[in-house]
Amino acid sequence: MDILHVSAECYPVAKAGGLGDVVGSLPRFQREKGHNAAVVMPMYRTPYLDSHQWELVHKSSTNLGQWTFDYSVIKEQSDTQGFPLYLLDINGLLDREKVYGYDDDTERFCAFQIAVVHWLNSWQQLPEIVHVHDHHAGLIPFMMQHCYAFKRLQEVRTILTIHNAQYQGAFGWDKTIYIPHWDSWKRGMLEWEGQINPLASAIKCCWKVTTVSNTYMNELRTMSNGLEPLFDYEKGKCTGILNGIDYAVWDPQEDKYIQDHFNSVNVQNGKAKNKKLLCDKFRLSIDKPLFIFIGRLVGEKGADLLPQVIKDSFRYIGRKMNFLVLGSGELETETRLKRLTSIAEEDYASYIGYNETLSHLMYAGADFLLMPSRVEPCGLNQLYAMRYGTIPLVRRTGGLIDTVIDMGDPDGYGISFNHTAVGDITHAIYRAVRLHAENETFSSLRQKIMALDFSWNMSADQYLSLYKSFD
């Protein structure tokens, strides 16, 4: 089968979160299973661009409303990622350092999607599947089905994977001219609550919709930032497929970002060495259990509660643990986390920013990972943590329910709590500190989580059978 993934992120070219990890690995597993999967994404100005060789495969021009723009598609020459990787360049619009966060993001991603469909329309042999990810590629199914210029693409099957339904990319009808000519009576296929809503449009127009865990799929019907009735109405074409993780990148035995490698046999020693490096680097005391948080500092992740959780843990449990936070996001949370350094006694540190290398060292060196998410479609951090023998403390939501079983439950191995609330999180930390003191149980849980299988194998099969369900 020929499959084209369209995404705003793809690791290691450009990554802001888990979307990048998924799109950077799933196609490789689809190819290993004998399918011809490729990725197209915007050409940002990231270091990957300069450090790889590219060939020009297409050059043309098209329109965003009144504006005619040139675009080109380049392909990475040696398929370094294990699949053909195409970057779409629109001069001045996409070639910037960051993936998101510009005032003209609507124009950037509309132009990107129009150019992708325009390019696709020029292919001699069309792919069987166009697999779009999140709202940045959400207008593509509508354009393929309803724009006059792209009639040839009408029968190509489209799949939407929702990595996060909080973000929908909605914009006003004043920008309707961005979308190439279409029958105005199809307006309902673009609209949600009076706006053009790319995520809603993709849910309506795609042949199938998936999200990244079963529980999140169910949650979307009652909690999806305004799209609840739509998910309920379209439930027949929706499924949850849990993300896998890429063991070629996330393997404590081979990880290129860490120096001291380990496996489940020498985990004790291996983690101790990584922990020492971390503790030295951040002036943390080596003897106490180390709790880490890695992620976007936003409400969804419960990051706003971290400063109070840390203070309360010191106050009510005692100074028996270390905390290390890596993340960036909301300014207020960043500032509060920085200020907290003033109360640290070699037991708290933060790194505000994005740092891929540090994140690997943290998964490798920590004892526990905190994930007090309010919303978590799948969550990859807890999967990486477990792979590196770091016990996750998670709020029971979305993919965290599907991947972490509380150690008090049959076959359990992690720590789960019900609410994203300071008291619940602090109590989970208390349980973890006690667990850490029980050497044997703690070590056996470490071994257990390292042996869990969260590889892509099963999930990649599930995507393939979904594609085949169209036949």
Q: Residues interacting with ligand ADP, by CB under 6 A? A: 17-19, 21, 294-296, 326-328, 354-356, 359, 378-381
Site pattern 169..208 for ligand GLC (x: CB under 6 A): ----------------------------------------
Q: Residue 328 binds which one of ligand ADP, ligand GLC, none, with CB within 5 to 8 A depending on kind?
A: ligand ADP
Question: Residues 356-359: contacts with CB within 8 Å, 24+ apart?
Answer: 356/15, 356/257, 357/257, 358/326, 359/294, 359/326
Contact call for residue 400 and ligand GLC (CB under 6 A): no
* Distance of alpha carbon 320 from alpha carbon 208, whole angstroms: 50
Those residues whose C-beta lies under 8 Å from the C-beta of residue 417, and which sit 6 or more positions away, are 372, 393, 394, 395, 396, 424, 425, 427, 428
Distance, in Å, from the CA atom of 188 to the CA atom of 237, rounded to the nearest integer, reads 18
When asked if residue 376 is in the footprint of ligand GLC (CB under 6 A), the reply is yes
Alpha-carbon radius of gyration of the chain: 23
Buried b (16+ CB within 10 A) or exposed e, 378-405: bbbbbbbbbbbbbbbbbbbbbbbbbbbe
Q: Which of 11, 13, 15, 18 binds ligand GLC (CB under 6 A)?
A: 18
* Residue of 240, 252, 377, 392 interacting with ligand GLC (CB under 6 A): 377
Which x/- pattern, by CB under 6 A, does the window 148-167 give for ligand GLC? Answer: ---------------xx---
Q: Which residue has the tokens 């127009």?
A: 205
Q: Structure tokens of 72?
A: 């080109």
Task: Name which of ligand GLC, ligand ADP, none residue 347 binds, using a CB cut-off of 5 to 8 Å depending on partner kind.
Answer: none
- The option from ligand GLC, ligand ADP, none interacting with 141 (CB < 5 to 8 A, set by class) reads none
Structure token digits, residue 205: 């127009």
Binding partner at 167 among ligand GLC, ligand ADP, none, C-beta below 5 to 8 Å by kind: none
Among positions 17, 270, 327, 389, the unique one binding ligand GLC when judged by CB under 6 A: 17
378 binds ligand GLC (CB under 6 A): yes
Name the residue nearer to ligand GLC (CB basis): 56 or 248: 248
428 Rama class: left (phi>0) / alpha (psi -120 to 50) / beta:
alpha
**Count of residues in the chain:** 471
- Which residues are within 8 A (CB) of 91 and not within 5 positions of it... i.e. 6 or more apart? 69, 70
User: Positive or negative, the Cα torsion across 293, 101, 113, 155?
Assistant: positive
Nearest by Cα to 33 from 92, 82, 76, 91? 82
Please select the residue that binds ligand GLC; options are 270, 302, 327, 379, rule is CB under 6 A.
379
Q: State the minimum distance, in angstroms, from the CB of residue 403 to ligand ADP.
A: 11
Of the listed pieces 14-22, 64-72, 143-151, 194-202, which binds ligand GLC according to CB under 6 A? 14-22
3 state SS of 352: strand
Q: Which residue's CB is nearer to ligand ADP, number 79 or number 356?
A: 356
Nearer to ligand GLC, 115 or 199 (CB): 199
Of 170-178, 275-283, 378-386, 418-426, which segment contacts ligand GLC by CB under 6 A? 378-386
**Which residues of this protein are in contact with ligand GLC, per CB under 6 A?**
17-19, 22, 163-164, 212, 243, 376-380, 399
